[in-house]
Amino acid sequence: MPVLACFKIPDDLLLGLKFIFGPSAVPALDLVDQCSVTRLSSPSGRTVYQVLGSSGKLYTCYSSCHFCTCPAFGFSVLQKSESLLCKHILAVYLSQAMGACQELTVSEEQLTSILLAEEEDEG
């Protein structure tokens, strides 16, 4: 069942999201609606988010430091300073606020493997 179908988001809030976050707002809401955000947590309490992007690629997002591994974040946010965030990190924040995040507990080793795999993809 689509997540947004369970939540009635007032039009003024949608307009506010679009005003503040621009073109990232609607795609981020689509990602939440498609249940694309998963919170991975380990027994030690470390957490990271993975977002299945519209392209089918999995991106890792760190809400604690406001960072996403997608190319749009690197270019539009870090290099050009054109945006506050990408649609993936906005989807993380929205799914947290709406209680619409999938939860997955992983071992310390699994979380380490996920983080190392991201580092290898970037390098």
Alpha helices, DSSP H, located in the chain: 3-6, 11-21, 25-33, 71-72, 87-98, 108-122
pLDDT over 80 at 41, yes or no:
yes
Q: What pLDDT digit, counting tens, does each position of 5-24 carry?
A: 456 677 888 888 888 888 88
pLDDT over 70 at 120, yes or no:
no
pLDDT number for residue 103: 95
pLDDT number for residue 119: 63
Domain count, the chain: 1
**Whole domain around residue 46: which residue ranges?**
3-122
Q: Residue 59 belongs to what H/E stretch?
A: strand 58-62
N-to-C CA span, the chain:
38
CB distance 41 to 106 below 8 Å: yes
pTM of the model: 0.84
